[in-house]
Structure formats: structure tokens, C-alpha cells
Structure 1
Amino acid sequence: MFNPARRRCVQSVAVANSSASIPSFLLPAFLAPTVRSFATTSPCLSKIGGAPLSIPPEVTFKVIPPPPARGRGSRIQPMSTVQVKGPLGELSMQIPPYVNIDQDPSLSGPTLTVQDSSDAKQRAMWGTTRAYLQSHILGVSEGHSAILRLVGVGYRATVEPTATTVEPEYEGQQFVNLKVGYSHPIELGIPKGVKASTPQPTRLLLEGPEKEVVMQFAANIRKWRRPEPYKGKGIFVNGETIKLKSKKIK
């Protein structure tokens, strides 16, 4: 048996010598197989990344250029920084070096582009960067919120100025006190920039300009009583639901 390289060579010589005697419809069978791509359509560009950012009048959007590189041999490319300032606070975010922000006043808003739209990593970060920037703009203008529902007998939540089991991380920090079936209260420090309130004993409202911080704190509270599927008890975040199961009968 010939290896693949010799087989292709033999096939090409055989086709060249006997192309006159072989019918035309049999010639493709003697040729080497060609590599075909999976899809013949053109790649779909990011629709989220190409959409212009919507900036309210009270929000300031500023792009700070990257600092000059320290040396020629440095592999780390400097990144530019975007500062977003609004009535609810100020947030900043570093932009990858291959993402460009066009702030042409003739456009409806700043538009993001990438250097090479055929690169998979740049296409992925194109829409991701735009979504993060729009989330920051919404956070400093309107804010992000998370509503936690405590479902269970005796489940309660309060916001306290002091705690007995947790040390404060910054001056004036408040704490969320949970009573969710443990023999001791659960005390969690509220992150800086997040505001917590209890409109009802079984409702906890978290508000803040940075969505990631608000939702991460909500997840930390939820993990103390994850919703269970038999009685439907637990801590539910926003519109979270759970499908109940029937009781196990032996």
C-alpha cells in the first residue's frame, strides 16, 4: 500500500497518461480530494458591536488614550481607558488595543470597530466591549437593581448599620442580616457603591451603578438558601422561578 503522498503522485501520473482513454465523467474519481469549507456563506459580522452607543445628555463619555510603551521588547500592549460619569457615579473600563472608538459628532453616538473583523477573538470582544460600555452608561444614569424574594417560614432580611460577626471593610459600611433557617444570623457586608433596602421583610432591594457588583452580591446572598424543588423555599433573584417536584414516596 502506498502512503498518501505517493498515492496522490501515482494518481496524477495515471490521470496524465490515460486521460485520453478515461471518460470525462470518471476523471473526478481519480483526482485528489479537495478540502471544502463547512459553510460557503460569508461570516456574519457583529450586530451588537456595530450599533452606536446611546449616551444621555447628563452622561459624560471620555476616552483616555493609552500611555506610551515602556520598551520595544514589551509584549503587553497598552490599553486605552473609557471614563463614564453621570449623576449616580463614575465608572471606568479598559478597552482592548484592537478596539477603536469613533466619536464622530455626525454619528448618533460613539461607534466601536475592530482592526481585523475576521479574527474570532476580536469579533467576540467587539460585542462584549460594546455591551459593557452600554451597561456602564445605563448604570451611571439610571442605575441597576436586583430584587431578592425570601420564600420560607420565618425567612426575613434587614439592613443593619453594624454587625457582630463581620468587620467593616470601609467607613460607614452597612450589613445585610438574613434569617433563613440557621441557628445564627447571616451577616453580609454591602459592597461600596451598592445601596440595600427592605421594602418588605421578605423583599431585599439592591441598587448600584455597576451591574456586575450588584448581581454578584445578589448571588452571594442567594447561595445561603438556594431554591429547592420540593417545597419551593429559598432566595429567588428577580424573576427567577423553579419547577416543583413531587415528593419521593418509598
Structure 2
Amino acid sequence: MSCPAVHRSLRRLVRESQAASSVSVFLLPCLAKPYQARSFSCSTASHSRIGGAAISIPPEVSLRFLDLPKSNVRSRKKDVPVSAVEVAGPLGQMTLPLPPYLAAKHNTKSQKVTLSVGDPTITHQRAMWGTMRAHLQNYILGVSEGHSCVLRLVGVGYRATIENTAITKKPEYPGQQFVSLKLGYAHPIELPIPLGVKASVPQPTRILLEGCEKQVVAQFAAEIREWRKPEPYKGKGIFVNNETIKLKAKKIK
């Protein structure tokens, strides 16, 4: 029986007996106060440790805060952006839209930027607090230093080259290059390099991807990895950065 049901039954017992003396002494504290549900955690709500941390801005990076035009179309989404942060550096320029409940403060003296939310007790705002802070930090690192991914081709005959033209693909923008892979298939694998990503092959079994937008670089690396995922019996496949795999024992019939 649940706690609310026990509480109702005790109250009914008191009404029927018309006297509190007929109820056991250990049940009196339960009748004195109404039932209150206990929370799962006893700790107090705290602010986000990641979201509240300040981000250092390099001298060659500049920030500009923009106000986005308000749309007349009603939307049920909570994260419709009303402002944005434009991050510019030597490697490029990117714009990060900010949700309406999140505010950015730029301290020009210390060259640091901090993010804050309207109500940290709301779960959605507290979750997006650290997420948007990580996005802004990735943008700042992208325009100043850049992001990179190294792919390792492990397998007999696995090779990679960078081609200016492709047989099976058409270029999406002028000057687009293609990553040509030989992974044991009967046909060549040609993948167009996204805009803003620079690909090079320092070794036949190594692919280096560089770009200022971390999401685009990592997504293109994941698309290349999809053609030969690392398998656990021979250890063959395409590995991204420091990815490792634990080998299994061979199946014996």
C-alpha cells in the first residue's frame, strides 16, 4: 500500500473511533502533518560548474553581440534565438545564436566572457547553460587555433588519396576536392570534402582533417569512419584520433 493510501486509512480510523486515544502513539506524528513527498536527492540545487566558468579570449579574437530580428510566427520551441555572438579570428568568422534565457557578458579588461541564465533552477536552462558555454569555447578555439582530426587506416591494402575530380560525385562548390579511399571494395569510395574543411594525406594510411568549425570536422570524420568501422577480431578499420578497440578471442567452431 502506498503512503497516501496509508495516510487516508489512518484518518478514517480516527473519524470512526471519535477519539485519539484509540490510535497507537507511534501513529500520532503521521496524523499531525499531511503527507509530503520526499525528493530523490537531499542535496541543494547548485549552479552549473561548466556554464559559470569564464572563457579566456585570445588577443587576435574579437567578439560582437548582435540582436536578431523577432519573428511574428508563433513557435512552441523554448530556444528560439533573439541574440547572437559573432566570433572573428585569423582563421575565419562564425556566429553563435543564443537562447532568450541566456545572456553573455564580455569583460574587455580581463578579456574574458561569462554566460548566465535567467533561472538556474529550471532543468532545461541549467542543461543548456553548459552546452552553450562549450559551443562558444569551441568557436573561439576554432577561429584562433582550429580543430583537427587524424584518421588511421588499419588493414591490408587500405589507402587514401586527395583528388581534385571524382568519377562518382559532382562538386558542390568550385574547387571542391574529394577523399578517395581504397578499403577492399570493388569500387572506389569518393567523399566530397565539406566547405571550410582542409584535408591532407601525410601518409597513405593517414588522413588529416582541419577546420575552424569542430562539428563539421568531426561529422566528416564520422562519415569516413562509417565505411570501415573498427572490428574486434582482427583490429582492422578506420580509427579516429586516439580511438582504440579491445580485441576478442577468435571464434572456434
TM-score (structure 2 length as normaliser)? 0.88
Partner of 2:83: 80
Aligned pairs for 1:203-218 (under 5 A) are 203-218=206-221
In structure 1, which of residues 57, 63, 66 is the aligned counterpart of residue 65 of structure 2? Answer: 63
Structure 1 CA distance, aligned partners of 2:110 and 2:23?
Answer: 63
Structure 2 CA distance, aligned partners of 1:74 and 1:214?
Answer: 31
Partner of 1:195: 198
Q: CA deviation at 1:160?
A: 0.8
Structure 1 CA distance, aligned partners of 2:16 and 2:112?
Answer: 64
The answer as to 2:157 corresponding to 1:119 is no
Structure 1 unpaired stretches of 5+: none
Structure 1 CA distance, aligned partners of 2:8 and 2:146?
Answer: 68
RMSD: 2.4
What percentage of aligned pairs have identical amino acids? 57
Structure 2 CA distance, aligned partners of 1:167 and 1:119?
Answer: 48
Structure 2 CA distance, aligned partners of 1:130 and 1:74?
Answer: 25
Q: 1:26 to 1:63 in 2, by over 3 A?
A: same
Structure 2 CA distance, aligned partners of 1:105 and 1:198?
Answer: 41
User: Is 98-107 or 179-188 further displaced after alignment?
Assistant: 98-107
Aligned pairs for 1:233-248 (under 5 A) are 233-248=236-251
Q: Matched residue of 2:112: which SS?
A: coil
What amino acid maps onto 1:28 in structure 2? P
Q: 1:147 to 1:170 in 2, by over 3 A?
A: same
Alignment: residue pair count: 246
Q: CA deviation at 1:19?
A: 3.4
Partner of 2:164: 161
**1:67–1:78 contact (8 Å) kept in structure 2:** no
**1:229–1:243 contact (8 Å) kept in structure 2:** yes
**2:181–2:190 contact (8 Å) kept in structure 1:** yes
What amino acid maps onto 1:173 in structure 2? Q
**1:197–1:205 contact (8 Å) kept in structure 2:** yes
Structure 2 CA distance, aligned partners of 1:14 and 1:111?
Answer: 63
TM-score (structure 1 length as normaliser)? 0.89
What amino acid maps onto 1:158 in structure 2? T
Q: 1:47 to 1:29 in 2, by over 3 A?
A: closer
Structure 1 CA distance, aligned partners of 2:84 and 2:98?
Answer: 6
User: Is 222-231 or 30-39 further displaced after alignment?
Assistant: 30-39
Partner of 1:19: 20
Structure 2 unpaired stretches of 5+: none
Q: CA deviation at 1:40?
A: 2.2
Q: Matched residue of 1:110: which SS?
A: strand
Structure 1 CA distance, aligned partners of 2:170 and 2:150?
Answer: 25
**1:149–1:236 contact (8 Å) kept in structure 2:** yes
What amino acid maps onto 1:65 in structure 2? D
